[in-house]
Amino acid sequence: MLSVFSDEHFMKEAYKEALHAFEKNEIPVGAVVVCKNKIIARAHNQTETLNDVTAHAEMIAVTSASNYLGSKYLPECDLYITLEPCVMCAGALFWAQFRRVIYGAADIKRGFSNIEQRILHPKTEIVKGIMAAESEELMHRFFDKLRS
Amino acid sequence: MLSVFSDEHFMKEAYKEALHAFEKNEIPVGAVVVCKNKIIARAHNQTETLNDVTAHAEMIAVTSASNYLGSKYLPECDLYITLEPCVMCAGALFWAQFRRVIYGAADIKRGFSNIEQRILHPKTEIVKGIMAAESEELMHRFFDKLRS
């Protein structure tokens, strides 16, 4: 059984957001922001819906979490994201100074770590691979659907 | 005399946006997006006003330009920005596929080129140094004001 406060528990919530994106024909990526074991922001990719390349799940989640806390910086928050952040999002996570960034599937092509590991804030702990298989499978399902 | 469609002309418009930011006690960075010699978006840094680290001038300008054109991609657009974009913004400019990115002052500490030149889209032409002195001076004036 999953402990309520485990990384797997919160990643499941991020995955639910990715499923929402999938249903809206958006590239299925989901995120939640957790502060003191509470989810304070949920978001999924909305680049198609909003016609905006900046509307990645992480960007919306950062704006939403800052709005909730009334704080630009989020050093007591953890971001769960089903896919490795791109360079833009990693840059945003740097500015927000997250305590931890936990991601699922690696993004071989556009993930920030292709460019440089040190884009994230030096104080931010990185955890990867949580529910990677499920998140990857959802991405494949999306692109298969797109091609069919 | 400045030709109407010169880089200096449009950078002056970006600089006016930076002045607006300065007046609002925001780090003074301004941007305009130009498409077919017409300014289709103007923005300045609003991280303090919106309490949001993602509210850089470039990010707001991209969202605004996409909204105006009804297009996620901006391959016929040029972005003028008074300061070298950070990694987050460079990542956004990559996704938007700007035709040209023209910036003023270099950002020695946080500019994207400290990490990697190839963050920007390979098709994007980069021009730097336009009105660099004025934009730099405005930044210095801002930080002097902050410290006094």
- Known catalytic residues of A are 58
Quick check: A70 and B51 CB within 8 A? yes
Nearest by CB to residue A88, choosing from B70, B71, B91, is B91
Half-sphere exposure of A73 (CA within 13 A, CB side): 7
Which of the residue ranges B2-6, B13-17, B112-116 has the most confident prediction, judged by mean pLDDT? B13-17
User: Cβ separation of B88 and A67 shorter than 8 Å?
Assistant: no
Closest CA relative to residue B12, chosen from B116, B121, B134, B124: B134
Element (H, E) at A103: strand A100-105
Cα A44 from Cα A26, distance rounded (Å): 9
CB A31 within 8 A of CB A82: yes
Distance CA A45, CA A28 (A): 7
Minimal CA separation from A137 to chain B, in Å:
24
pLDDT > 70? residue B102: yes
Q: Which amino acid is at B99?
A: R
pLDDT band of residue B2 (cuts 50, 70, 90) is low
Two tokens, residue B55:
């509210």
Structure tokens at A145: 């659907």
Q: Which chain A residues are closer than 8 Å to B118 by Cβ?
A: 115
Each residue of B43-96: pLDDT tens digit? 999 999 999 999 999 999 999 999 999 999 999 999 999 999 999 999 999 999
Q: Which residues of chain B approach chain A closer than 8 Å at the C-beta?
A: 47-48, 51-54, 59, 62-63, 66-67, 70-73, 86-92, 94-96, 115-116, 118-119
How far is it, in rounded angstroms, from Cα B32 to Cα B48? 20
pLDDT-derived band at B116, boundaries 50, 70, 90: confident
Smallest Cβ–Cβ distance between B51 and the set A53, A71, A118 belongs to: A71
**For A87, nearest residue in chain B (alpha carbons):** B91
Q: Strand B30-35 vs strand B38-44: parallel, antiparallel, or unpaired? A: antiparallel
Q: If we measure between CA atoms, which residue out of B46, B131, B45, B60 comes closest to residue B96?
A: B60
B16 confidence band (pLDDT: 50, 70, 90): very high
Q: Which of A63, A86, A118 sits opposite B54 (nearest CB)?
A: A63
Predicted complex ipTM exceeds 0.85: yes
pLDDT of residue A2: 64
The segments of chain A whose pLDDT lies below 70 read 1-2
Give yes or no for residue B115 having a pLDDT over 90. no
Confidence (pLDDT) at A6: 94
- Structural Rg of chain B based on CA atoms: 14
Pairing of strands B38-44, A30-35: unpaired
Read off the pLDDT band of B32 (50, 70, 90). very high
- In this complex, do B72 and A52 lie within 8 Å of one another by their Cβ atoms? yes
For B51, left (φ over 0), alpha (ψ -120 to 50), or beta?
left
Of A105, A115, A116, the C-alpha closest to A142 is A105
Measured CA angle at B27 (ends A116, B22), to 5 deg = 155
Name the nearest CA neighbour of A20 among A142, A145, A109. A142
For residue B53, give the nearest of A55, A86, A92 by CB distance.
A92
Q: Give A35→chain B minimum CA distance, Å.
A: 17
Could you tell me which residues come within 8 angstroms of residue A98 by beta carbon, excluding any fewer than 6 positions away? A74, A75, A77, A78, A79, A121, A124
> For residue A41, which amino acid is it?
A
Return the number of CB contacts < 8 Å for A and B: 91
Q: B2 to chain A, minimum CA–CA distance in Å?
A: 33
